[in-house]
Amino acid sequence: MKKLVVIGDGGHSKVVRDIVLAGNEYEWIGTLDDKYASFIEKDERFSGPIHTVDRILERFGSQVYFVIAIGSNRIRKAVAEQLGIYDVKYAVLVHPSAIIGSNVNLLPGTVVMPGAIVNSSASIHTHCIINTNAVVEHDCILYSYVHLSPGAILAGNVTVLEGASIGIGAKMIPSVSAGEWSTVGAGAVVIRDIPPCCTAIGVPASPMKHIKSL
What is the number of the residue whose Cβ is closest to ligand ACO?
A: 185
The amino acid sitting at 44 is: E
95 is in an annotated binding site: no
At its nearest, how many Å lie between ligand ACO and the CB of residue 132? 7
What span, in angstroms and rounded, lies between the C-alpha atoms of 11 and 125? Answer: 23
Strand partners, 26: 2
Residue count, binding to ligand ACO (CB under 6 A): 14
Binding pattern to ligand ACO, positions 72-101, x when CB under 6 A? ------------------------------
Q: State yes or no: residue 182 binds ligand ACO (CB under 6 A).
A: no
* Residue 179 touches ligand ACO, criterion: CB under 6 A: no
Closest C-alpha to 64, from 52, 72, 81 = 52
- Give the nearer residue to ligand ACO in terms of CB position, either 53 or 134: 134
Residue 193 has a CB neighbour count (10 Å cut-off) of 14
Give the residue from 70, 132, 71, 139 showing the smallest Cα distance to 98.
132
Q: Does 202 bind ligand ACO (CB under 6 A)?
A: yes
Is residue 147 part of an annotated ligand binding site? yes
Q: Looking only at Cα atoms, what is the longest distance across the chain? A: 53
CA 33, 35, 41, 44 torsion-angle sign:
negative
Binding site for ligand ACO (CB under 6 A): 131, 149-150, 167-168, 183, 185-187, 199, 201-202, 208, 212
Which residues form the catalytic set? 138
